[in-house]
Amino acid sequence: MDMLWSGWGDPARATPLPDTVIGLLRDMLGVKPRGAEPVALDEITVPEPPLDPAAHQALLAAVGAEEHLRTDAESRIRHTRGKSTPDLLRIRDGDVGDLPAAVVLPASHEEVLAVMEVCAGHDLSLVPFGGGTSVVGGLAPERRRPFVALDLRRLDGLLDVDPVSRTATLQPGLRAPQAEALLAEHGFTLGHFPQSYEWATIGGFAAARSSGQASAGYGRFDEMVLGLTLATPTGTLEVGRAPRSAAGPDLRQLVLGSEGAFGVITSVTVRICPVPHSRVYEGWRFDSFEEGAAALRRLAQDGPRPTVLRLSDETETLIGLAQPDAIGASGLPQAAGCLAIVGYEGTEEDTSHRRERAAAVLRDCGGTLLGQEPGERWAHGRYSAPYLRDALLDAGAFAETLETAAFWSRLPGLYASVREALTTTLTDAGTPPLVMCHISHVYENGASLYFTVVSAQGDDPVAHWAPAKQAANEAIMAAGGTISHHHGVGTDHRDWYVREAGPLGIGALQAVKRRLDPTGLLNPGVLLPAD
């Protein structure tokens, strides 16, 4: 099924906020009910597709059937932008300024190449579309010419499983739950469970360097990738012949994170792990975010490393955002201090051993065990936060997220700087915010920070948010953080990514772009400035 066109996920799972939460939003943040209801899908005025008959026929020939070339209004609306809060606010107001000219659904690597050839010959841009979950403008290219959305849902197969090497080759349109189900039939798992898990695709994970909620144990998705096939306007690039190689620079790393700007990923070979026999998630309490972060650092650096390791700051703990589907429920008082969720997956013996040793470290760092209930509540509701965001928008609040990462020594300053930038900017604009944060991905040398911001919307919510987002980005750069840990670059972060990479680095990537995509038809303005 398709995602909700004006929000996240399955419409049947949308849940309004409890009255108590709406009252708190009104009293604490000055949130007011929306002045008007969002437009209905059939009320949106959609212009005729800007495809001449020759381009239409050529695209049709490339994918073989009318059902695989869609120019109807609903299909084009459903492929307009991604799922950031500004994206949703725009589409709810009926703004279709980033509407694709058509949606094409290829079923093979060869058909992807054929569609590229048509686009190059008819002056069309091409935007790869997986689950549509981008929150950084990755599906809204610079509009110098009409563009075609390349929906990869028909490339949804498990092509190969090698149980000896523990690898699997997957097609890019395969959604994560389906990939897990197919691998489970062979006794394996990817172990990749980002918040977008229920809707995101394998190709999207690779193209955006996704990081899952169990990254402490399984690693990031880019660490799982062993090989790739990339369709480009100038031919096919196949990379990854062995698990590691000294045969020059690793071209896999050039494709990973390229966000469709260099080509379209048509297959991914990944390492896989046996399905765990045991899963245990538990909660720990720390007096402060600083104390909890020190405990996470110790586990990340000296072990034992849990599979899931995340820490909410005082504000996020107080609100209960670690269990978003339980916010506002009675009988669930939140403990003071900071909540850490610690999870273990693996064999019974391994899980028990790591859990016992990690508990000793956490206690030594000042942690108090809260038992398994907080951990199990987190596991039950871990994919619910985007639905909560939609409910906040429905109630008239503004809710958005942003993330970054830095070395451990820089993390306290980064945390303080971003909080201050968001709080000051939005307060000065008349909408004092609630700023929450958690650490959700840890490494030996550093960790990520994931911020959630809730405030009143203001008269023009998208314009109201823009200065706060810019201030947060500037604070990230000044404090030594990266502009994105796992959301990606898109168009929203591109100008800061240009600064982070530097002129020589960006020049090298632009040279790659010109070699693989000489006419600039792929995702213009996404990741790199358009020529």
**Exposure string over 87-108, b if 16+ CB within 10 A, otherwise e:** bbbbbbebbbebbbbbbbbbbe
- The pLDDT-based confidence of 338 (bands split at 50, 70, 90) is very high
- The pLDDT-based confidence of 321 (bands split at 50, 70, 90) is confident
Q: What is the mean pLDDT of residues 20-42?
A: 91
Residue 530 CA to residue 53 CA, distance in Å, equals 28
325 has pLDDT over 70: no
Q: What is the mean pLDDT of residues 119-138?
A: 97
332 has pLDDT over 50: no
Query: 241 and 137, same structural domain?
Result: no
78 has pLDDT over 80: yes
Place of tokens 């703990």: 317
514 has pLDDT over 50: yes
Burial category of 181 from C-beta neighbours within 10 Å (exposed 0-12, middle 13-18, buried 19 and up): exposed
Residue 450 CA to residue 454 CA, distance in Å, equals 14
328 has pLDDT over 60: no
429 half-sphere exposure, CB direction, 13 A CA radius? 23
pLDDT-wise least confident of 20-24, 321-325, 390-394: 321-325
Q: Give the residue ranges of DSSP H helices in 136-197.
A: 176-184
Please tell me the pTM assigned to this model: 0.96
Query: 259 and 168, same structural domain?
Result: yes
CATH number of the domain encompassing residue 251: 3.30.465.10
Q: Are 438 and 310 in contact (CB under 8 A)?
A: yes
Residue 216 CA to residue 155 CA, distance in Å, equals 30
Element (H, E) at 191: none
Query: 112 and 59, same structural domain?
Result: yes
Q: Are 500 and 463 in contact (CB under 8 A)?
A: no
Query: 244 and 197, same structural domain?
Result: yes
CA torsion sign for 48, 531, 402, 434 is negative
Task: Measure the N-to-C terminal CA separation of the chain; round to a whole number of Å.
Answer: 37
Q: What is the mean pLDDT of residues 324-349?
A: 78
CATH number of the domain encompassing residue 326: 3.30.70.3450
Query: 284 and 250, same structural domain?
Result: no
Does residue 19 lie within any of the structural domains? no
> What pLDDT, on a 0 to 100 scale, did the predictor assign at position 330?
44
- The pLDDT-based confidence of 244 (bands split at 50, 70, 90) is very high
Backbone angles phi, psi at 250, to 5 degrees: -80, 105
What's CA 405's distance to the chain center, in Å?
A: 15
> What pLDDT, on a 0 to 100 scale, did the predictor assign at position 96?
95
Q: What percent of the chain has pLDDT over 90?
A: 93
Q: What is the mean pLDDT of residues 442-446?
A: 98
DSSP 16: P
Between 531 and 451, where is the model more confident?
Answer: 451
pLDDT-wise least confident of 6-15, 176-185, 430-439: 6-15
From the list 265, 391, 373, 419, the residue with the least C-alpha distance to 324 is 391
From the list 483, 484, 529, the residue with the least C-alpha distance to 509 is 529
* Residue 323 belongs to domain spanning: 278-383
- The pLDDT-based confidence of 201 (bands split at 50, 70, 90) is very high
Q: What does the pLDDT look like over 148-191, one tens digit per residue?
A: 999 999 999 999 999 999 999 999 999 999 999 999 999 999 99
Instruction: Tell me which of 124, 151, 178 is where a domain ends.
Output: 151
> What pLDDT, on a 0 to 100 scale, did the predictor assign at position 329?
53
CATH number of the domain encompassing residue 132: 3.30.43.10
DSSP 389: H
**For residue 304, is the peptide bond before it cis, meaning its omega torsion is within 30 degrees of 0?**
yes
